[in-house]
């Protein structure tokens, strides 16, 4: 099977994430999509605190259940959390390929990552690109405020027919702090989980 790996912190997972996954499957770009929650932020970039793996996994499982109820082949892959991997994408993809030789893997990223993609590394010192494309295909979906004008590497593949994702997890966390509605930002079950567990307050 051809598996699309959708990595991120998913803190929280929102409707934009779900829409991208559903559209990839509708277009038959992949046979299945696996959400890949990170255990830590990418070590090459300074990012703020994030919620525990326990809460992020629980929210993702709620999202996955809704995908599966629609007949979509979606699951959560917990490799980085289980093995406490440092969030180096190339190393994770190689480990997945080794563990699941029956599958081929591709990676899904948002267009907001393109400007700093050249900073991503196979390790802290060694740049991955463009050599990584000999091993794995990478697909880009549009994010609001980051139009896909020119791809930094010709090997990148654009996901067509996807509305730019305007929702961001940071915005959702801020809405929770301000006691604003999460309707049209996350699914109802995720909103109930966030409020029930007093996340982001």
For the segment 10-35, the average pLDDT, to the nearest whole number, is 97
For the segment 65-84, the average pLDDT, to the nearest whole number, is 96
Residues contacting 32, CB < 8 A, separation 6+ = 1, 3, 4, 25, 73, 74, 75
Residue 156: closest CA among 107, 94, 96 = 107
The Cα 191–Cα 64 span in angstroms is 15
For the segment 136-158, the average pLDDT, to the nearest whole number, is 93
Element (H, E) at 35: strand 32-37
Q: Is the pLDDT of residue 39 over 90?
A: no
**Residue-range domain boundaries for the chain:** 2-166
The percentage of residues in the chain with a pLDDT greater than 70, rounded to a whole number, is 92
* pLDDT value at residue 41: 57
For the segment 54-64, the average pLDDT, to the nearest whole number, is 97
The percentage of residues in the chain with a pLDDT greater than 90, rounded to a whole number, is 73
Q: Is the pLDDT of residue 125 over 60?
A: no
* pLDDT value at residue 127: 62
* pLDDT value at residue 48: 60
Element (H, E) at 7: strand 2-8
Kindly report the average pLDDT of the chain as a whole number: 91
Cβ contact 42:87 at 8 Å = yes
Per the model's pLDDT, the better-predicted residue between 121 and 82 turns out to be 82
Chain-centroid distance, C-alpha 123: 20
Superfamily of domain 2-166 in CATH is HUPs (3.40.50.620)
* pLDDT value at residue 123: 60
Predicted TM-score (pTM) of the model is: 0.92
């Amino acid at each position: 099977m051809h598996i699309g790996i959708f990595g991120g912190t998913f803190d929280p997972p929102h409707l934009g994430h779900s829409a991208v996954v559903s559209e990839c499957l509708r277009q038959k770009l992949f046979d299945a999509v696996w959400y890949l929650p990170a255990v830590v932020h990418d070590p090459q970039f300074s990012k703020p605190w994030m919620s525990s793996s326990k809460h992020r996994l629980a929210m993702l499982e709620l999202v996955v259940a809704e995908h599966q109820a629609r007949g979509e082949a979606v699951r959560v892959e917990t490799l980085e959390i289980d093995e406490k991997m440092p969030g180096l994408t190339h190393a994770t993809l190689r480990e997945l390929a080794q563990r699941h030789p029956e599958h081929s893997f591709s990676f899904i990223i948002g267009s907001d990552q393109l400007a700093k993609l050249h900073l991503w590394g196979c390790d802290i010192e060694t740049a991955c690109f463009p050599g990584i494309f000999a091993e794995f295909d990478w697909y880009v979906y549009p994010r609001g405020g980051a139009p896909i004008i020119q791809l930094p590497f010709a090997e990148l593949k654009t996901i067509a027919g996807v509305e730019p994702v305007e929702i961001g997890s940071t915005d959702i966390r801020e809405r929770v702090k301000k006691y604003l509605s999460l309707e049209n930002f996350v699914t109802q079950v995720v909103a109930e989980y966030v409020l029930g567990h007093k996340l982001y307050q």
